[in-house]
């Protein structure tokens, strides 16, 4: 789906989180950044993925990683999701899909025989200098932290 690959410069994104606070790539210079895109807040797969990242958050911090979740949900839905599961990382409410489009994770999907456009569950690991270190398109929702922290 995405045309971004290892070695590419990460898109200069800017988006608002669940509290209306702005986040952009430059905020994370000097840290490794995990940007994980998920289809919809509070759905089973997205909850499993985000909770696995939450449960391993200390390991991410110990390895100089920051995490940001992104979906097209409203700030209200993102805030509810974050509060309910006590996520220690921000969730961008990308309703106009500018960040989603910049990373190329919006496109045709199939579910139960129906075709529609949506977010492809994809994670980007960006190094300290803003270069994509890894693109994970085959996300294992219950063991995603292990996919990133090899």
Phi then psi dihedrals of residue 16, to 5 deg: -100, 140
**β-strand 65-71 against 132-136: which pairing, if any?**
unpaired
In a domain, 104, yes or no: yes
In whole numbers, what is the pLDDT of the chain averaged over residues?
A: 96
Q: Which domain holds residue 58?
A: 14-148
What is the pLDDT, as a whole number, of residue 94?
A: 98
Q: Give the model's pLDDT for residue 24.
A: 96
pLDDT at 93 over 70: yes
Please tell me the total count of domains within the chain.
1
pLDDT of residue 1: 64
pLDDT at 3 over 90: no
User: Do 123 and 148 meet the contact criterion of CB atoms below 8 Å apart?
Assistant: yes
* Residue of 33, 46, 77, 91 with catalytic role: 46
Q: How confident is the model at residue 140 (pLDDT cuts 50, 70, 90)?
A: very high
Whether residue 7 lies inside any domain: the answer is no
Q: Which residue has the tokens 């500018």?
A: 98
Q: How confident is the model at residue 118 (pLDDT cuts 50, 70, 90)?
A: very high
**Active site (annotated) includes residue 46:** yes
pLDDT band at 110 (very low <50, low <70, confident <90, very high): confident
CATH of the domain at 105: 3.40.30.10
Q: Do residues 53 and 145 make contact, with C-beta atoms less than 8 angstroms apart? A: yes
Write out pLDDT tens, residues 14-65. Answer: 999 999 999 999 999 999 999 999 999 999 999 999 999 999 999 999 999 9
Residue 10 · residue 25 · CB < 8 Å = yes
Q: Is residue 66 part of a domain?
A: yes
């Amino acid at each position: 789906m995405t045309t971004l690959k290892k070695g590419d410069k990460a898109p200069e994104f800017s988006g608002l989180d669940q509290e209306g606070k702005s986040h952009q790539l430059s905020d994370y210079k000097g840290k490794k950044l995990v940007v994980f895109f998920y289809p919809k807040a509070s759905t089973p797969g997205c909850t499993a993925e985000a909770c696995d990242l939450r449960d391993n958050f200390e390991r991410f911090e110990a390895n100089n990683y920051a995490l940001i979740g992104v979906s097209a949900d409203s700030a209200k839905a993102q805030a509810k999701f974050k509060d309910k599961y006590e996520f220690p990382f921000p969730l961008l409410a990308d309703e106009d899909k500018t960040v989603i489009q910049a990373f190329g994770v919006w496109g045709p999907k199939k579910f139960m025989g129906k075709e529609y456009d949506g977010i492809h569950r994809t994670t980007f690991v960006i190094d300290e200098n803003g270069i994509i270190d890894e693109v994970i398109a085959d996300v294992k929702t219950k063991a995603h932290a292990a996919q990133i922290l090899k």
